[in-house]
């Protein structure tokens, strides 16, 4: 990415923050908070998530069989099925069905957005009317959706009123939400009555019966399906599930995940055309029972005037199914929870965090699969890998992994020209081929950079912070000069530990023995927190070791440098295996490194090795909590009688379920703890350093800044569990932050 491209990207994000950010933030956070409440009240949530994932996995495995089965079922019902290879093929078939139709009404469908069916039909002379309120607003405004579920999330009520008043010039200006919806209902109702063809999507397609299920909060989808004599349903082949017996988990999960409702307003299962009578709006006196609804035995007798066409779209899905890394994307049920739970999306919306059709975290997989990697590349870096979306996803898709895989593939398409590959291949400390952009390589090799920085400190810090250096870093690597750079310590944590003579608690006299994992930042930058951790562990009768261990691979992993991250994983495990074999616990200060051990290493290491490391590894304060629960003396730690702290937990500490341990330990030691209501600080490792994302990073952080500068929080000691969080808080606030372990350090001065 050139300097000019970075500036253009920054300008685009700045514009969206100013024009759409407030509306997106209000709606996305509302949906996300409602999801939390709905899930908390629903005891079967995790069980159904597991069941739903298993159903989708089986359905995708059996996809060719299910396509044959649904084709036979729909044809037996009197309908037709068309399997479309791509968008052009689907649109050509739909145009042939529409024939001489004057108008078509359609309900909300991301799959029809994917194939641009509106443009194709209008070019063929068919008037197309969106009937979903949000989609209709966008059709009137000539804008694209900004969210999978709430397409007009970026627009305010005032903006919609202004649009309607300007476009339709009503007798009385529209203002209130009730007035806008009433106007839309009347206007669209007339179009539905007059339409020749109705089009819907399908949330689920039931192969056994040839039925489609529509899950909506507006009744327009049902009207589109039954009011016109011809009904076209367009669905990706991944919407197939075996039968109605498998439907229940999805109905229970989809609304809770999307909007926080226990169930959507309308859950409709149709087996067209035999179960839907034709309607004559010009003859309101004739009972529906006399218009023809089928023979009751699955045949089409008495209903010859009604047509049903199920268009099943491939458009890259078969290739996604055959791709071991993108296959999980097909499990998606289009709930939007990944977008609602994502801090970056909450602030900038889908017009930045999205491609040609799809938005949010899962969009990378969809865009790469159906539109190509160039579309995914436009927004892929907005996924910071925090993993909050994994816990939000109703079918447990590993969305960060899909984003990382696509990022890796994009890396190998972009960057330096092939003829320059010889300049880097074999000369850089990573496993990546030539072609990787210099910035990706810079951040991905941060462990090597940190070693060099410590070896040459303090000269390295002075040089990096000088004006000319910052200008060079910004121009060629896109590192924003407004962001303070980390300062390397000359003496690393490992060197300090060796110099002091190792652990003060002999292993023979210790209750437990632990390896304190020296992550890159703790070893080279924030050595004080590492020293505090050693003293805390020793105070609790733990014999400590701080060996020189390979970095976890988090840095290259975040840049999509998968081969390099895998090499780091093997090296780190090799370094730690002897300690695990000896029964030592692995204690990790940095949550993102623990997340690598707990989650990502299962993709890089043999199953048994990954399990051994994950089961032997603990977050620092989680470990302290366990020691105290098992009889360690709290008095050995530095207690405090009511010191007030404002505590922010790292994203991956939250997703690992470890935030509560820190709060419990601090409170047990006498601290008055205020926890942040904001889930993400906005820094996200290297993300916050990048020039094009700096303002977004700070905008995300503004929520945390607002809470920590209230009257109740502004005089509190700021505490953060992650390096990125500390860096962001230090830039947002006028007081420095500390790691929780530093508060517990027996050597800490008042």
Q: How confident is the model at residue 416 (pLDDT cuts 50, 70, 90)?
A: very low
Task: Name the DSSP class of 349.
Answer: -
The residues near 296 (Cβ < 8 Å, ≥ 6 apart) are none
CB 174 within 8 Å of CB 161: yes
Query: Which of 222, 201, 275, 213 is CA-nearest to residue 247?
Result: 213
Work out whether strand 211-216 and strand 204-206 pair parallel, antiparallel, or are unpaired: antiparallel
Q: Write down the pLDDT at residue 549.
A: 97
Is pLDDT at 357 greater than 80 in this prediction?
Answer: yes
3-state SS class at 103: strand
Check: CB of residue 153 under 8 Å from CB of residue 24. Answer: yes
| Rounded Cα gap, residues 33 and 340, in angstroms | 9
Report the Cα 138 to chain-centroid distance in Å. Answer: 24
Interatomic CA distance for residues 180 and 718, integer angstroms = 46
Tell me which residue of 56, 104, 96 sits closest to 80, measured CA to CA: 96
pLDDT at residue 304 tops 80 = no
Give the integer Cα–Cα distance in Å for 391 and 185.
Answer: 37
515, 587 contact by CB (below 8 A): yes
Omega before 458 within 30 of 0, i.e. cis = yes
The model's pLDDT over 629-668, given as tens digits with 9 standing for 90+, comes to 999 999 999 878 889 999 999 999 999 999 999 999 999 9
Task: Map out the domains of the chain with their CATH numbers.
Answer: 42-279+289-313 (3.40.50.10420), 337-410 (no CATH), 493-744 (no CATH)
Q: Is the pLDDT of residue 422 over 70?
A: no
CA dihedral over 328, 331, 334, 338, signed as positive or negative: negative
Helix, strand, coil fractions of the chain, as percent rounded to 5: 55, 10, 35
CA angle 251, 255, 258 (to 5 degrees): 135
When the pLDDT of each residue in the chain is averaged and rounded to a whole number, the result is 93
> In angstroms, rounded to a whole number, what is the distance separating the alpha carbons of residues 454 and 93?
65
For the whole model, what pTM was predicted? 0.93
Rounded CA gap, 276 and 291, in Å? 10
Q: Beta 80-84 vs 204-206: how paired, if at all?
A: unpaired
Task: Give residue 258's Cα distance to chain centre.
Answer: 13
Residue-level pLDDT at 255: 97
Tokens in use for 229?
């004599």
Given the structure tokens 């309900």, which residue do they identify? Answer: 107
Q: What is d(CA 673, CA 57) in angstroms, rounded to the nearest whole number? A: 43
Paired with 359 in beta bridges are: 354
pLDDT, tens digit (0-9, with 9 covering 90-100), for 496-547:
999 999 999 999 989 899 999 999 999 999 999 999 999 999 999 999 999 9
Two tokens, residue 238: 């991944």
- Please give the Cα distance from 359 to 648 (Å, whole number): 28
Residue 286: is its pLDDT beyond 80? no
User: Tens of pLDDT along 214-262?
Assistant: 999 998 999 999 999 999 999 999 999 999 999 999 999 999 999 999 9
Contact indicator for 305, 229 with CB cutoff of 8 Å = yes
């Amino acid at each position: 990415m050139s300097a000019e491209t970075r500036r253009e990207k920054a300008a685009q994000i700045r514009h969206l923050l100013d024009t759409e950010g407030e509306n997106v933030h209000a709606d996305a956070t509302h949906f996300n908070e409602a999801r939390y409440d709905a899930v908390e009240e629903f005891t079967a949530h995790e069980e159904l998530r597991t069941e739903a994932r298993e159903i989708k996995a089986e359905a995708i495995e059996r996809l060719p069989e299910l396509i044959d089965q649904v084709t036979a079922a729909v044809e037996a019902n009197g309908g037709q099925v068309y399997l479309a290879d791509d968008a052009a093929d689907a649109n050509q078939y739909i145009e042939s069905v529409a024939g001489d139709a004057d108008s078509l009404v359609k309900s909300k469908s991301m799959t029809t957005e994917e194939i641009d069916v509106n443009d194709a039909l209008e070019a063929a002379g068919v008037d197309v009317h969106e009937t979903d309120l949000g989609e209709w607003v966008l059709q009137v405004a000539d804008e694209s959706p900004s969210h999978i579920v709430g397409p007009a999330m970026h627009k305010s009520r005032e903006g919609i009123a202004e649009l309607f008043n300007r476009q339709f010039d009503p007798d009385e200006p529209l203002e209130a939400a009730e007035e806008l919806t009433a106007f839309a209902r009347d206007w669209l109702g007339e179009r539905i009555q007059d339409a020749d063809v109705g089009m819907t999507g399908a949330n689920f397609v039931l192969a056994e019966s040839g039925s489609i299920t529509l899950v909506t909060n507006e009744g327009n989808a049902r009207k589109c399906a039954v009011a016109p004599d011809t009904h076209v349903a367009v669905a990706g082949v991944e919407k197939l599930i075996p039968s109605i017996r498998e439907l229940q988990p999805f109905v229970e999960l989809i609304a809770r995940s999307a909007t926080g409702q226990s169930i959507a307003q309308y859950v409709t299962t149709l087996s067209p055309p035999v179960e839907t009578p034709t309607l004559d709006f010009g003859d309101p006196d004739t009972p529906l029972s006399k218009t023809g609804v089928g023979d009751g035995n699955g045949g089409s007798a008495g209903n010859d005037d009604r047509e049903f066409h199920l268009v099943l779209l491939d458009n890259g899905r078969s290739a996604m199914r055959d791709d071991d890394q993108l296959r999980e994307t097909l499990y998606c049920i289009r709930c939007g929870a990944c977008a609602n739970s994502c801090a970056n999306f909450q602030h900038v919306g889908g017009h930045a965090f999205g491609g040609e059709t799809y938005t949010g975290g899962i969009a990378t997989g969809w865009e790469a699969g159906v539109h190509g990697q160039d579309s995914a590349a436009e927004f892929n870096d907005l996924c910071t890998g925090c993993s909050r979306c994994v816990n939000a996803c109703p079918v447990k898709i590993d969305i960060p992994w899909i984003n990382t895989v696509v990022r890796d593939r994009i890396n190998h398409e972009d960057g330096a020209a092939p003829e320059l590959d010889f300049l880097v291949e074999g000369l850089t400390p990573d496993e990546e081929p030539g072609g990787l952009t210099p910035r990706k390589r810079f951040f991905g090799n941060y462990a090597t950079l940190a070693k060099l920085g410590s070896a040459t400190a303090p000269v390295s810090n002075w040089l990096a912070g000088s004006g000319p250096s910052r200008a060079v870093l910004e121009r060629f690597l896109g590192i924003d000069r407004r962001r303070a750079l980390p300062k390397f310590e000359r003496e690393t944590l490992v060197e300090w530990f060796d110099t002091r003579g190792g652990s003060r608690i002999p292993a023979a006299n210790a209750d437990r023995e632990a390896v304190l994992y020296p992550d890159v930042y703790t070893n080279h930058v924030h050595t004080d927190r590492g020293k505090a951790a050693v003293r805390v562990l020793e105070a609790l009768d733990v014999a400590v070791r701080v060996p020189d261990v390979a970095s976890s691979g988090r840095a290259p992993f975040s840049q999509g440098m998968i081969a390099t991250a895998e090499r780091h994983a093997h090296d780190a495990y090799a370094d730690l295996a002897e300690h695990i074999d000896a029964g030592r616990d692995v204690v990790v200060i940095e949550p993102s490194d623990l997340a690598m051990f707990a989650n990502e290493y299962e993709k890089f290491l043999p199953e048994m090795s990954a399990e051994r490391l994950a089961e032997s590894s603990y977050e620092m304060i989680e470990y302290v909590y366990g020691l105290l629960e098992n009889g360690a003396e709290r008095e050995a730690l530095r207690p405090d009688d009511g010191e007030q702290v404002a505590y922010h937990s790292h994203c991956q500490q939250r997703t690992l379920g470890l935030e509560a341990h820190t709060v419990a330990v601090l409170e047990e030691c006498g601290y008055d703890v205020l926890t942040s209501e904001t889930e993400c600080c906005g820094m996200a490792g290297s993300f916050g350093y990048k020039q094009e994302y700096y303002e977004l990073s700070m905008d995300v952080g503004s929520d945390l800044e607002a809470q920590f500068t209230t009257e109740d929080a502004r005089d509190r000691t700021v505490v953060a569990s992650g390096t990125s969080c500390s860096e962001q808080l230090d830039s947002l606030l006028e007081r420095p932050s500390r790691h929780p372990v530093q508060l517990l350090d027996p050597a800490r001065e008042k």
